[in-house]
Amino acid sequence: MLNHVREDRNICIDCNTRLEKIFEMVGCSPVERRLLNRPRRMTTFAVPVEMDSGEIQIFNGYRVLYNDALGPGKGGLRYHPQVNLEEVKNLAFLMALKCALVELPFGGAKGGVEVDPSSFSEAEKERLSRSFMQQLYPVIGEEVDIPAPDVNTNEITMGYLVDEYTRIHGSAVPAIVTGKPIALGGSAGRKEATSLGGAFVLRAYYAHRKDDLLGKTVAIQGFGNVGGHLAVLLTEWGAKVVAISDSRTARYAADGFEKEVIAKALAVGAVPAAGTEITNAELLTLDVDVLVPAAISHQITEENAADVRASVILEMANDPIATDAEATLKEKDIVVIPDIIANAGGVIVSYFEWVQNRSGETWTKEVVNAELEKKITGAFESLLTQSGTDQTNLRERGYVVAVERILNAERTRGRLARQVS
């Protein structure tokens, strides 16, 4: 059921578009360009699942290892009806850059199944996950490629995956996936890690400007694990979260939502009932200090970028700004804190989980959070310094840093000619 896609024509189209300017800035040779604009391995799967009715349905599955120069692949698995190979390639590319930027010993990977799990029973979700692991087994490993949760997957999913891997392998390998339940070797602090990392980054941005979060107005698109916990944290730290949305509805409260109201709503999986109803489209164009896209890709596009009024965009979703919208945002002097640093808290704590699994250690939540703050804040402050006075170029500068680190690792491995000094 494996199909290794190796054709040269299978470059990552969106990655190539993003990288073209970076290639020029870094001075990449034609060979280096060819190495970076396509994944090292793309695998497609047929994923058969027995439904509760007894019917067998077959879904398309994917796993892409974009680059492994810095270490084994690392990246999530998502279950979503819009999953396709091009999307997975692009997200794996972003993971490679993210890991390089925050100096983790990982390459970039991503995977998923083209499926809408919203109508699945829990038993069907379990059978889907176990079937997917049966296909993934030959191409992953704790020193090869390590999956994690993503859209519509969580620690329960990871529990099914690690158990199925153990069944096939014949012995326990807890480091094969991260984001697991604590009882199966998961790390304290992993559930809130992406949100906490984003909050640390936003606080560091304002500190760099000799300012703070107190009273800053924030609109958050996406009230899942990431957006919901971020709303609680930012409110706790003095910001005013004035708008929140999920896929069904959006709410606006000019004076901000109370922390307790947000926390209660998060616990039941629905946006707060307080405030007035608005649309998701209206949320993206509110006059706020900070806009946080924390849902899915390409929410800010060429069509709506001119209407965005936030001063800062904190990208907590992966790739929420389409490439054709970036020039408009830059012209408006909107600072975009890119996903490759803004939402890196999740992969950083996944790394901590991987380290704990392999060393037999167990870290407290306090240790995990302190190490996360040190790691992500240090990387972001370095990025701010390198960007100088023009902080509308953070994505571009971050890509340059990440690409240079990946190319240096490729040369050190002997895959590319070494530079002559």
- pLDDT > 70: what percent of the chain? 95
What value does the mean pLDDT take over residues 281-304?
A: 95
Give the residue from 343, 375, 395 where a domain finishes. 343
Same domain for 127 and 47: yes
Sign of CA pseudo-dihedral 331, 337, 339, 341: positive
Pairing mode of beta strands 41-50, 335-337:
unpaired
Give the residue from 184, 212, 247 where a domain finishes. 184
Same domain for 114 and 207: no
Do residues 181 and 253 touch, judged by C-beta distance below 8 A?
A: no
What pLDDT digit, counting tens, does each position of 264-288 carry?
A: 999 998 999 999 999 999 999 999 9
Among 89, 110, 191, 240, the active-site one is 110
Asked if residue 206 is part of any domain, the answer here is yes
Asked if residue 90 is part of any domain, the answer here is yes
What value does the mean pLDDT take over residues 183-207?
A: 97
In sequence order, the 6+-apart residues with CB closer than 8 A to the CB of 2 are 43, 44, 45, 135, 138, 139
Structural domain that includes position 64: 2-16+38-184
Asked if residue 256 is part of any domain, the answer here is yes
Helices (H), 13-84: 13-26, 30-36
Statement: residue 149 has pLDDT above 70? yes
323 vs 139, which has greater pLDDT?
A: 139
Please report where in the chains the tokens 């020029």 appear, as a residue. 24
Statement: residue 11 has pLDDT above 80? no
What pLDDT digit, counting tens, does each position of 87-109 carry?
A: 999 899 999 999 999 999 999 99
Three-state DSSP class for residue 369: helix
- Count of domains in the chain? 2
Query: Residue 74 gets which letter from DSSP?
Result: E
At residue 417, the pLDDT reads 64
Tell me how far CA of residue 150 lies from CA of 49, 63, 106, 349, in angstroms. 20, 13, 17, 14
Statement: residue 175 has pLDDT above 60? yes
What value does the mean pLDDT take over residues 115-136?
A: 98
Same domain for 130 and 7: yes
Same domain for 157 and 9: yes
Pairing mode of beta strands 312-314, 290-293:
parallel
Same domain for 199 and 124: no
What value does the mean pLDDT take over residues 59-77?
A: 98
Do residues 315 and 336 touch, judged by C-beta distance below 8 A?
A: yes
The full 3-state SS of 121-166, as one line of letters, equals CHHHHHHHHHHHHHHHHHHCECCCEEEEECCCCCHHHHHHHHHHHH
Give the residue from 343, 359, 385 where a domain finishes. 343
207: domain CATH number is: 3.40.50.720
In this prediction, residue 395 has a pLDDT band, given cuts at 50, 70 and 90, of very high
Same domain for 292 and 207: yes
Three-state DSSP class for residue 241: strand
Asked if residue 350 is part of any domain, the answer here is no
92: domain CATH number is: 3.40.50.10860
Same domain for 223 and 166: no
Residue of 69, 95, 296 whose CA lies nearest to 178 = 95
At residue 419, the pLDDT reads 57
Active site residue 98: no
Statement: residue 420 has pLDDT above 50? no
Same domain for 43 and 9: yes
Same domain for 118 and 77: yes
Asked if residue 420 is part of any domain, the answer here is no
Asked if residue 225 is part of any domain, the answer here is yes
